[in-house]
Amino acid sequence: MSNQTKYNSFRQTYPKFVYESYQYDVQPDGLHIVFTFRIGNDIVFTPSATIPTRPFLHFDQPRATMDSLVFHMGLIELISYWKCLCPPVVEIQCGSLNAAQISFWKKLYFNGLGEFFYVNGIAATQEDFLDIVTLPSNQNPLRLSPIEHSDNYLIPIGGGKDSVVTLELLQAPAYRPIPLIMNPRGATVGCIEAAGYSLDEALVIHRTIHPRLLELNAQGCLNGHTPFSAMLAFYTLLAAQLSGIPNIALSNESSANESTVVGTDVNHQYSKSLEFENDFRHYVAQYISPSFNYFSFLRPLSELQIAMLFSRYEKYYDVFRSCNVGSKQDVWCGHCAKCLFAYIILSPFIPPSRLNAIFGKCMLDDPEMKPYFDQLIGHAETKPFECVGTISEVNSALSMTLSRWYPQERPSLLANYQPEVPTTPLASLFADHNVSPELLNRLSQAIANAINNQ
Are the beta carbons of 392 and 424 closer than 8 angstroms?
Answer: yes
What is residue 46's predicted lDDT score, i.e. its pLDDT?
Answer: 98
Residue 27 is classified by DSSP as: E
What distances in angstroms separate CA 410 from CA 369, 391, 406, one per listed residue? Answer: 15, 21, 6
Question: Residue type for 295, please?
Answer: F
What is residue 368's predicted lDDT score, i.e. its pLDDT?
Answer: 94
213-243, pLDDT tens digit by residue?
Answer: 999 999 999 999 999 999 999 999 999 999 9
Residue 400, judged by CB atoms within 10 A of its CB (0-12, 13-18, 19+), counts as: buried
Coil, helix or strand at residue 327: coil
Are the beta carbons of 239 and 203 closer than 8 angstroms?
Answer: yes
What is residue 386's predicted lDDT score, i.e. its pLDDT?
Answer: 77
Coil, helix or strand at residue 133: strand
What is residue 141's predicted lDDT score, i.e. its pLDDT?
Answer: 46
For every residue of 181-224, DSSP letters joined together read EES--HHHHHHHHHTT--GGGSEEEEE---HHHHHHHHTT----
Nearest residue to 182 (alpha-carbon basis) of 196, 195, 166, 163: 163
Report mean pLDDT in 10-residue bins for the chain, 454 residues: 93 97 97 97 97 96 93 97 98 94 96 93 94 77 63 95 97 94 95 97 97 96 94 97 96 79 76 94 94 96 96 96 84 92 96 95 94 90 79 92 89 87 82 95 96 86
Sorted by sequence, the CB contacts under 8 Å of residue 206 that are 6+ apart come out as 49, 50, 51, 52, 182, 183
Cα separation of 51 and 239, whole Å? 9
What is residue 432's predicted lDDT score, i.e. its pLDDT?
Answer: 94
The number of beta carbons lying within 10 Å of the beta carbon of residue 26 is 14
